[in-house]
Amino acid sequence: MATHFEIDNSFIAEQNEKAHAWLEEDYEHLTKKLRRQNVDIEDLVKRAEAFRVAVPSWGVGTGGTRFARFPGTGEPRDIYEKLEDCGTIFKLVRSTPAVSLHIPWDKPDDATQLRDFASARGLSFDAMNSNTFQDQPGQEHSYKFGSLTHPDKATRDQAVAHNIDCIQIGQALGSKAHTVWIGDGGNFPGQQHFRRTLERYLESMREIYAALPNDWRMFIEHKFYEPAFYSTVINDWGTSYYCARELGPKAFCLVDLGHHAPNVNIEMIVARLIQFGKLAGFHFNDSKYGDDDLDSGSIKPFQLFLIFNELVEAELSHAPNFSPAYMLDQSHNVTDPIESLMMSGVELVRAHVQAHLVDRDALTEAQEKCDPLQALSILKQAFTTDVSPILAIARERSGGAIDPIDTYRASGYRQRKAEERPVRKGVAASGIV
């Protein structure tokens, strides 16, 4: 494989040198401030360093709307180039060592070669994602009217086989989870028999579940609309929870933040799934209206914090069956995807660290004493603390960039990729259009 441009560790160190003095100053100030609250800043730095979130392979390409896609320059043209970009993100922010693949968009010709390519960049593979929401060239049965729940058994079988194929590819790559999101649903009242489609879903999923290796988990992803605009088969967390229970102990419910109606109390859904021992993990993104796939923390940062508040509480209280997988699932239409993913990675660590700042004993006391104002102000105190110096120190100590976006821009990475990756006629980056 030809040598491709990479950001050098020495370049990162050089850039860090410029920002180091002010960072030390801010860190010192925050250390003192937190000490007054009896908080050990070093403990928070360790938590920031340990935080992990997977990057979606499809997120490094430019997304699009249903009207158009405006491709960016130097876009990755295949899975290897996608991994190069994921490796760059990881190098700079350090919290993103895993990649979540979408099959067949990322189907490898040689899984061992792909695995080696990834591990040479410190990357591993998180959950696999099947794709039965679009037809692939040469496919025998169409998914236009559904996949795992299609009325025609042969179409369902084809969709089941595709999911099993994903698991097998994932095994070769070292993945340990399989995410199933289907686009099945109806656009019009009467189009689908609600109970029958759910029965078919379960029947298909039981076959996929049976093919799951023992040390794997299956993630069920719900979504209340789109591409179906009237009804979807796995429309909400209740349906997802029912299916996960029906399927067995290896099945869990995945929460994609954008898959709920506006104003739904997602943190409470998270708490419920934790309580029932069925939280799979997340597809993090942000939204104003629907499945907008905007950058994490860009629209409702307080909601993100409240979700992490539940997660940290579960972690500290050792909730049983609690081992959430964190993944980003965003579509970048007007930004450089690498920058957006880096920023989102940072925002998640921020919310995680802020949630660790919540004074849990004081919160419990306020709850027991029926003091809502005090309870809210405890949360607000954590949420309004600027933990940026903690995040920057954590990145620097683990070899990343104090300012990932500045460093990325200064490196000229995108320009270099534009030269290395001329648009191949007829080859578009596969992904959401």
Q: Which residue ranges make up the site for ligand RM4 (CB under 6 A)?
A: 102, 129, 181, 221, 223, 256, 283, 291, 329, 432
Q: How far is the CB of 329 from Mn ion (least distance, A)?
A: 4
- Region from 19-27, 107-115, 288-296, 373-381 binding Mn ion, contact rule CB under 5 A: 288-296
- Please say which residue, 106 or 291, places its beta carbon nearer to Mn ion: 291
Match 């802020």 to its residue by tokens: 354
Closer residue to ligand RM4, CB minimum distance, 223 or 414: 223
How far apart (Å, rounded) are the C-alpha atoms in residues 391 and 49? 8
CB of 329 to ligand RM4, least distance (A): 5
Least Å from the CB of residue 141 to ligand RM4: 21
Handedness of CA 30, 36, 37, 39 (dihedral sign): positive
Displacement of CA 172 from its chain's centroid (Å): 22
Please state, in angstroms and rounded to a whole number, the distance separating the CA atoms of residues 271 and 145: 34
The interface partner of residue 432, options being Mn ion, ligand RM4, none and the CB cut-off 5 to 8 Å by kind, is: ligand RM4
Cis amide prior to 227 (ω within 30 degrees): yes
**Virtual CA dihedral for 412, 418, 419, 420, nearest 10 degrees?**
100
Within residues 291-310, the interface with Mn ion by CB under 5 A covers 291
Taking CB under 5 A as the criterion, which residues in 227-256 touch Mn ion?
Answer: 256
Q: Are 86 and 357 in contact (CB under 8 A)?
A: no
Q: Which position's Cβ is nearest ligand RM4?
A: 181
DSSP H helical segments within 120-259, as ranges?
153-173, 194-210, 237-247
Q: Which is nearer to Mn ion, 9 or 65 (CB)?
A: 65
Nearer to ligand RM4, 418 or 433 (CB): 433
At closest approach, how far in Å is the CB of 39 from Mn ion?
Answer: 34
Binding residues among 356-395 for Mn ion as defined by CB under 5 A: none
Q: What is the C-alpha separation between 374 and 380, in angstroms, rounded?
A: 10
Window contacting Mn ion (CB under 5 A); options: 6-14, 60-68, 112-120, 289-297: 289-297
User: Is the CB of 85 or the CB of 256 nearer to Mn ion?
Assistant: 256
Q: In the complex, what is the shortest distance from the CB of residue 63 to Mn ion, in angstroms, rounded to a whole number? A: 11
CA distance 298 to 270: 20
Altogether, the residues listed in the chain come to a count of 433
In angstroms, give the least distance from the CB of 297 to ligand RM4: 18
Residue 259 beta carbon to ligand RM4: minimum distance, rounded to whole angstroms: 7
Min dist. Cβ of residue 179 to Mn ion (A):
8
Among 283, 352, 414, 417, indicate the residue that binds Mn ion (CB under 5 A): 283
Give the per-residue contact string, 254-273, with Mn ion (x = CB under 5 A; - = no): --x-----------------
Q: Residue with structure tokens 């689908």? A: 192
- The site partner of 129 among Mn ion, ligand RM4, none (C-beta below 5 to 8 Å per kind) is ligand RM4
| Interacting span for Mn ion (CB under 5 A) from 106-114, 197-205, 206-214, 329-337 | 329-337
Taking the complex as a whole, the smallest distance from the CB of residue 290 to ligand RM4 amounts, in Å, to: 10
Residues 6+ apart with CB under 8 A from 123: 83, 86, 87, 90, 97, 98, 99
With CB cut-offs between 5 and 8 Å by kind, which of ligand RM4, Mn ion, none does residue 175 bind? none
Q: Does 352 engage in binding with Mn ion (CB under 5 A)? A: no
Q: Which stretch binds Mn ion (CB under 5 A): 272-280, 282-290, 303-311, 316-324?
A: 282-290
**H-helix or E-strand containing 127?**
strand 124-130
Residues 3-32 that bind Mn ion (CB under 5 A): none
Q: Long-range contacts made by residues 359-365, C-beta under 8 angstroms, separation at least 24? A: 359/37, 360/313, 360/316
For ligand RM4, the closer of residues 49 and 293 by Cβ is: 293
Tokens 């290896």, residue located: 250
Judged by beta carbon, residue 185 or residue 404, the one nearer Mn ion is 185
336 touches which of ligand RM4, Mn ion, none (CB within 5 to 8 A by kind)? none
Angle among Cα 307, 89, 266 to the nearest 5 degrees reads 15
Candidates 75, 184, 329, 347: give the one binding Mn ion (CB under 5 A).
Answer: 329
All residues at 6 or more sequence positions from 325 whose CB lies less than 8 Å from its CB, including other chains: 54, 126, 127, 177, 217, 219, 254, 280, 281, 282
DSSP element (H, E) containing 177:
strand 177-180
Residue 210 has phi, psi (to 5 degrees) of: -65, -25
What is the CB neighbour count within 10 angstroms for residue 120? Answer: 10
Q: Which residues bind Mn ion (CB under 5 A)?
A: 256, 283, 291, 329
